[in-house]
Structure 1
Amino acid sequence: MPDADRTAEVAPEIRVPVLIVGAGPAGLTASLALSRYGVRHLLVHKYPGTAHTPRAHLINQRTGEILRDLGVADRLREHAAPSELLANHVFMTTFAGFEIARLDAYGNGPARVGDYRAASPETMCNLPQHLLEPLLAQAVEEAGVGELRFGQEFRSLEQDEQGVTSVIVDRASGREYTVRSDYVIGADGARSRVLRQLGIDVEGPTGFAKAVSTWFEADLSRYAAHRPGILYMGTLPGDRVGDLRVFISIRPWNEWVFLSTDDPAAGFDPNDPEAMRDRIHESLGDSSVPITIKNISPWELSSAVAPRYSSGRVFCVGDAVHQNPPTNGLGLNTAVADSFNLCWKLRLVLAGQAGPELLETYHGERQPIGRQAVDRAFRSMLDLHGIPEALGFAEGQSAAEQWRLLGELTEESKEGEARRAALAAATERIEYQVNAHGVELGYRYGSGAMVPDETPEPDRDTDPELFYHPTTRPGARLPHAWLENGRRRCSTLDVTGRGRFVLLTGTEDGPWHEAAREAARRTGVEITVTRIGPGPGLRDPYGTWERVREVAADGAVLVRPDGHVAWRAATGEGAAALPAVMARVLCHPAADVPAGGTTPGTAAHPR
């Protein structure tokens, strides 16, 4: 074949409804969701395969629910380290040395385990990206709707009123070809070329610190199995104040990532495997442990969000539009939710069942959530500096002086008591990293594909970042409640979703079936009416749904395909509004809801 750089073969144009650029968690989730919805698409990825290093790894409950809806949660659980192996967050000098502090983490402590278990049918787990991505790719291949092409580099795009033309290059052959699509999803990570093609860039500090991740194998069960966790953070006297040597459990207890700052003054070359092995041994406090280094990856920390997530027919998801420090583990989880929010909207617009304005709600709903995730992760990173500060560490101190300060933690003296109190206050702030249940599960869309509720916000007596508050207010994720269908247990999340609009009500006889039929007649979108109540069918054996539904038995809660509440009616009197509500949610021409007001009958039942 002639030199590809000079005379690259030009292939015919490819035509698909959706082009996805990037096969990370965001891109593969988008591909799997579109596959489940029957939307033909092409995914192109620059590299020859999925992730080859662990990268992101914490899977929170909301991501577990999304993957449950997409039919792969069982595969996830089969390969992941379960929640109980995430139970601790440890601060130490070295793995073999003095333990400074330990916290209950990710809903495993006695004070929080009930909150997490009550909130979701899924538990948190640890599944690194190099294991997660192949599971998602396999599910896409099995679905047979979309096509995955690796080794294909996105170069540019141009959009017009009818669609988008993208230029792709096969990296092996140099062959250039075009893809004509109705829409493009840019899931190509930080420094996204798709986002730059839109003339958009992220805002906020990027590359403000350098770090090195070293993936290695070593049996550390003697130091970890009795205090199982994901994160073990070392503060070694003599280091630069604020630097942490972090061990991340990848596969308990033999596979790890060692995360350290890339400090030129540290006196070692982080790209030298032997120097890094010595550094890890020093941080372990045990030079006898055999270590096999698998990969060394330098990277940079950022805390930035794009001001716009979309332009015209092009939408960006994941790290392309929000980049945050790894604290809280929100990056991957927020990326998965981005794609899940977008894809049901694409399906309905492509089918002509929703107006194109529905797609504009993607930015309005997801950008504030990305901002919240980035801000929370950045604040959690700063909170970590409170640990060495509480220990009394300061620049200019010798290692011997810092060891003396550490010794005060065990002294029965006023100094020891004060030191322990300072450390307890500092570790309490770390709760916002390891138990931020409200951030992970309780976010709510303030506007978008929903009809707002006219009832006042309820008073809360707990921190909304730490604690999840179940609610059926429009924009919120539908609360989980265990139901019973015959002898089979299922969640409220199992009887909703799957690409459908579902209306939950408590009465069999009533106006809701007729209202749903009229809504479908006007919009072309079917609504599944599901009854939860006494008698045959779905039962609420524990009364949980009755406690959290916030509407009367003859009222209703309308749930979107992504599991978020679109609207609710206090009683059956609100049924007449349902057709107009659906049209409004879908941005459908049949919408006739008065501008600026709520639909009659939408107020929730007072409790």
Structure 2
Amino acid sequence: MIADLRTALGLADHPLDVHVITRWSIEGVVAERFRHGRVFLLGDAAHRHPPTGGLGLNSAIQDAANLAWKLAAVLHGHAAEGLLDTYEPERRPVTARNVERSVENALNHLVAGEAVGITPDAGADANWRRIRRLWSGLPEDEAHARQVRRLIASQSMEFDEHNIEYGYTYTSTAVVPDGTAVPANPDPIRIYQPAARPGHPLPHAWLDAPDGRRLSVHDLVRPGCFLLITGEDGQAWCKAAATLPTSVPVDAVRLGHLDGDFLDPRSAWTRNRGHDRGGAVLVRPDRFIAWRAHTASPTPEQDLTAALDQILGTGSSKGPADDQD
């Protein structure tokens, strides 16, 4: 071990003392439960996996983002305690998929290395000869080089897994389905398809503010607040949001290409919102879509109140989590 350290670090005769030697194994572990009573697991306490793909910190941050607003809503009296039961069904499937992808990414590295033919025991000269076969241009190396290039190209599933990093969705009582199907995706790993569908992350869109600033639609979501985004003709929704008989804070804005509190100059939001000029979407404080109305409603205040009651667990209906101890 000391000889390897000297070689790797170039320390020559510098004195070294080894205090502890630990072993690391490629493994994927997900906790069976993310909540037990008043105890919640997140980050490395809830899931452990190889670093390939960089999904560990992504998972941990989104665990915290998911749980923090729910804890705040319950502690401030805006939500029933049952809202906390939605943390596990939302986050555990997402982190389990991240763990699976991380292990697959790690194994893919091993397969690509084996295809090149590099081994620790072969020695530097032999390994360099095998590497040079990839660009030798010799007919006898053509099939080998093609196979290695194909395996290396497959690592785009690690380096471009955009739908894993941002396209994950939530299903729980804190999301109100709107009856639409999940958008078809030809590559559910590499291709992220933005959609303002309940359970999906809020799609990004650049907006123009009245004072000339450019900002993302994400910047409109204030900490601890819901955001109601309506179309150009959503004045009734905005008025209803201002008079809701609930204690939870709800901001409301109209977005449109030519009219609204903020303008959508590239129609990016209009393309992904999934409703007409009179419709609306409700965004949770963690920037996930909680509810969507495809068009205007004759009873906007009643509809918004019903949606928030389900999301926050303050309504009369019971969700699956309410029956758990």
Match of 2:152 in 1: 427
Q: Tell me if structure 2 keeps the 8 A contact 1:581–1:591.
A: no
1:475 aligned onto 2:204: no
Matched with 1:583 is: 309
Higher strand content, 1 or 2: 1
Q: In structure 2, do the counterparts of structure 1 residues 280 and 436 end up closer, same or farther at CA, with 3 Å as the change threshold?
A: farther
Match of 1:572 in 2: 296
Letter in structure 2 aligned against 1:482: W
Residue number in structure 2 paired with 1:264? none
Taking the aligned partners of 2:207 and 2:134, their CA distance within structure 1 comes to: 49
Q: Distance in 2 between matches of 1:401 and 1:490?
A: 55
Task: Tell whether the 8 Å contact from 1:580 to 1:591 is kept in structure 2 after alignment.
Answer: no
TM-score (norm 1): 0.48
Q: Distance in 2 between matches of 1:297 and 1:434?
A: 31
Could you tell me which amino acid in structure 1 is paired with residue 283 of structure 2? V
Residues 469-521 of structure 1 show CA distances to partners (whole Å, capped at 9, x for unaligned) of: 10111111100000000210010000124211010002356421343245x31
Deviations 1:43-86 (A, max 9, x none): xxxxxxxxxxxxxxxxxxxxxxxxxxxxxxxxxxxxxxxxxxxx
**2:87 equivalent in structure 1:** 362
For residues 513 and 395 of structure 1, the distance between their equivalents in structure 2, rounded to whole angstroms, comes to 65
SS in 1 for 2:207: strand
| CA apart distance, 1:432 | 1.6
User: Which of 322, 327, 334 is the equivalent residue of 2:47?
Assistant: 322
Q: What SS is found at the alignment partner of 2:53? A: helix
For the 8 Å contact 2:196–2:274, the answer to whether it is kept is yes
**C-alpha distance in structure 1 between counterparts of 2:109 and 2:5, whole Å:** 24
Instruction: Give the distance between the partners of 2:74 and 2:131, measured in 1 at CA.
Output: 61
Higher relative contact order (CA 8 A, sep 6+): 2
Secondary structure of the residue aligned to 1:300 is coil
Q: Please name the residue that 2:266 is paired with.
A: 542
Partners of 1:480 and 1:384 in 2: CA distance = 32
Q: Deviations over 1:327-379 (max 9, x none)?
A: 01111121111011101111111122211110000111111111011111000
The amino acid that maps onto 1:475 is: G
SS of corresponding position for 1:568: strand
Whichever residue aligns with residue 310 of structure 2, its letter is: R
| Percent of aligned positions that are identical | 37
Mapped to 1, the partners of 2:169 and 2:162 lie a distance apart of 13
- Counterpart residue number, 1:71: none
The 3 A distance-change label for structure 1 pair 353 and 276 is same
> How far 1:527 moved relative to its partner?
1.5
- 2:323 maps to none
**Preserved contact between residue 334 and residue 370 of structure 1 (Cα < 8 Å):** yes
Are 1:278 and 2:7 an aligned pair? yes
| Structure 2 partner of 1:494 | 219
- Within 1, Cα distance between the matches of 2:135 and 2:222? 54
TM-score, normalised via structure 2 length: 0.87
Residue 553 of structure 1 aligns with an amino acid whose one-letter code is R
Work out the number of aligned pairs and report it: 309
Does the 8 A contact of 2:176 with 2:290 survive in 1? yes
Give RMSD over aligned pairs: 2.6
**1:334–1:545 CA distance, 2 compared to 1 (3 A):** same
Kindly indicate whether residue 29 of structure 2 is the aligned counterpart of residue 300 of structure 1: no
- Partner deviation per Cα, 1:279-331 (whole Å, 9 max, x = no partner): 245xxxxx99xxxxxx9985624310001001111111100010010101111
Contact 2:282 2:289 survives alignment (8 Å): yes
- Counterpart of 2:16? none
Q: Deviations over 1:120-155 (max 9, x none)?
A: xxxxxxxxxxxxxxxxxxxxxxxxxxxxxxxxxxxx
Distance, in Å, in 1 between the alignment partners of 2:261 and 2:202 is 20
Q: Distance in 2 between matches of 1:389 and 1:378?
A: 17
**Residue in structure 2 matched with residue 375 of structure 1 by the alignment:** 100
Is contact 2:201–2:288 with CA below 8 Å preserved after alignment?
yes
Structure 1 stretches lacking a partner, 5+ long: 1-268, 282-286, 289-294, 597-607
Q: Which amino acid counterpart does residue 308 of structure 2 have in structure 1?
A: M
Residue of structure 2 equivalent to 1:88: none
**Structure 2: which amino acid aligns with 1:341?**
N
How much does 1:549 deviate?
A: 0.9
1:406 CA displacement: 2.4
SS at match of 2:198: coil
Cα separation, 2, equivalents of 1:353 and 1:511: 24
Is the aligned partner of 1:443 residue 2:168? yes
1:379-410 Cα deviation digits (max 9, x unpaired):
00000012222224579756655443323222
1:497–1:560 Cα contact (<8 Å) kept: no
1:604 match: none
